[in-house]
Structure 1
């Protein structure tokens, strides 16, 4: 399959695959719409929140009073990447030119995706989702096109995508609907097209096309005296090329089966990911020691290599540094139960172990009132043979400590008594799992913390850790994963979630 990005409107951060968006102009070559389309709507999820004030993430089309159609990848930004399930904080605004006012607003209480990136062949050509609304809307629905439009067929495209490339500039996010009239091109005009299931729509040079945050929007064709939806925006067709749309007509049976209630797929079984904290490119967990008091500021645990800014130097530690970092603590389904703020980096090192501790602006008692999960920090080391559960933000991986390695070296750093995982399909970490808690059998104790795996099979280089035995023998195995001990942290912490490296039993880097 060809590599391709998505015309996303939703910030990713929690899902196992992170697909980059390609910023471009909204409905390139288009103009502001002069009248509203009753069936056209804006999908506005609160989590993950789009990077714009109006909360627009993707386009939707009303197919029935309680059903709207959009791109599958728009609904795929649920915390665990589920195919079918119940969202939280999703809504649509339909029948308005404006994303912030007018029309009708309805909550989304269910989503169904035709395909996911985990399916064989991925979801290209099947990038569709149906969203069920909790209350009916009065908007007049649009019907599905009766057949795949032929090359040269005139179509109308529309959406609220970006008008310039700077995602930090609010002016790049139009609140008023834009549209353009264009044609269906041969698939060869879209270099990244799949051979079946997709439509290539726009001008051949890309001067008229859909773009970033137009995902889910329609390709409309005239049938009789009205519009019919033939395609849904999925992704770019290539540089300076038309846009790719999923051919809706190929999946009419799937759409009609769900809307009619005759063929509704079951919800996915959602793994319990309570307590996982999603950080930029890493994961964390909130922990307390046996000595922690309810009125102490809570502590966030992650890897030393996950700190913002400069990492600790080999042989050194960062101590008592200012910090500003959001800490969204997940509920069982992965949605934020509460979002705290890290205001101090208490400690971070990548020598001896690979850990970082942040102090939060919220106490343990306050988190308890909010129902947030707080884990206990282990006071004993992990031993070979111990069963561990890796608490990632979208899944729980089941690992076994195959061995405790004397020394682990990677890119100039060395950690001691590292935990090597036994090879298993149930324990296959990937980038982004760094900092995930490794839970003991009770599910409440952080026994260790995941920190690395060997990507390429190289020896002792960045992203390729190697083991150094007591006799100096060096080995490296591609794909092998490792965690770090955390039991030594408790001896260095005092009341008030303060660090004291001078304590007698404290053996962290920088102590003594």
Structure 2
């Protein structure tokens, strides 16, 4: 997983990768709505139908949780949290403020790799105090060929490419993710970009969350996910990068950004 940074040696390596990675060019995508975590990236997101006076929500990866990665099959709902997030300026060069979580609304690494933090501020509060609007979280399946920007709040870097296709099952160590997004070569995401929003460059809306890459060409091991098709055939794609779809999240949220896994249309895994 392109997830967290452990120790100075890895941080130095990651910094080198950042400097040597191809410079992204995003004509319309900015860092507005992006946040930096202590070990990952994230974003302030809002389903279109959610009112601005609802508690705001930060989207990241399940494997970016402060206490560590959920076990396969584990689903976390309503867990207290006081984690803080730095809101970035549009150019990504500075923080315009800090927001704080009250709880983890939902998190899992089963079928997908997401964490949803509820904040103490509403969307309206954040826009008024920091002039940061939320990114819209769409409720429709992404399409192959869509140009995307992976916006890393941790590295203050935008990685641009497009969607190559979708993976029936992505296996990494003991975790299995379904219908994952595979990027075309060119999105050179690195450690710390985990949890970055995958933004549709045509619309500026969030269609996924960045989560992993095959680093060493290994088969289905940690940091080396493999693709498994409907017939059980395994394909290893060295250096390919992946994200998880997020279109299923809005159907599982109430208008107050509480999780309701029994709502009609909600397909997220239950505890």
TM-score > 0.5, shorter chain as reference: yes
In structure 2, the partner of 1:402 is 164
SS at match of 2:161: strand
SS at match of 1:376: strand
2-structure distance, mates of 1:375, 1:484: 17
In structure 2, the partner of 1:444 is 204
Does the Cα contact within 8 Å between 1:338 and 1:372 map onto a contact in 2? no
SS at match of 1:339: strand
Does the Cα contact within 8 Å between 1:419 and 1:485 map onto a contact in 2? yes
Bigger Rg over Cα:
1
- Whether 2:227 is the aligned partner of 1:470: answer no
Summarize deviations over 1:390-417 as a string: whole Å, max 9, x none. 1112221112111111000001011111
- Would you say how many aligned residue pairs link Structure 1 and Structure 2? 249
In structure 1, the partner of 2:44 is 286
2-structure distance, mates of 1:505, 1:443: 24
Q: Which runs of 4+ in 1 moved over 6 A?
A: none
- The one of 130, 142, 151 aligned to 1:391: 151
- Whether 2:128 is the aligned partner of 1:366: answer no
TM-score by length of 2: 0.87
- The one of 372, 391, 412 aligned to 2:174: 412
Q: What are the within-5 Å matches in structure 2 for residues 248-267 of structure 1?
A: none
Any stretches of 5+ residues in structure 1 without a counterpart?
Answer: 1-11, 21-80, 82-116, 120-270
SS at match of 1:305: helix
2-structure distance, mates of 1:351, 1:486: 14
2-structure distance, mates of 1:441, 1:352: 26
Q: What RMSD over aligned residues (CA atoms) do the two structures have, in Å?
A: 2.1
TM-score by length of 1: 0.47
2-structure distance, mates of 1:118, 1:437: 21
Any stretches of 5+ residues in structure 2 without a counterpart?
Answer: 21-28
- Whether 2:70 is the aligned partner of 1:308: answer no
1-structure distance, mates of 2:68, 2:149: 30
The Cα of 1:18 is off from its aligned counterpart by 2.9
Higher RCO by CA contacts (8 Å cutoff, separation 6 or greater):
2
Does the Cα contact within 8 Å between 2:33 and 2:45 map onto a contact in 1? no
Does the Cα contact within 8 Å between 1:491 and 1:505 map onto a contact in 2? yes
2-structure distance, mates of 1:279, 1:327: 6
The Cα of 1:443 is off from its aligned counterpart by 5.0
1-structure distance, mates of 2:96, 2:269: 34
- Whether 2:39 is the aligned partner of 1:277: answer no
1-structure distance, mates of 2:172, 2:98: 33
SS at match of 1:499: coil
2-structure distance, mates of 1:502, 1:443: 30
The Cα of 1:495 is off from its aligned counterpart by 1.8
- Whether 2:117 is the aligned partner of 1:355: answer no
2-structure distance, mates of 1:480, 1:310: 24
- Whether 2:254 is the aligned partner of 1:490: answer no
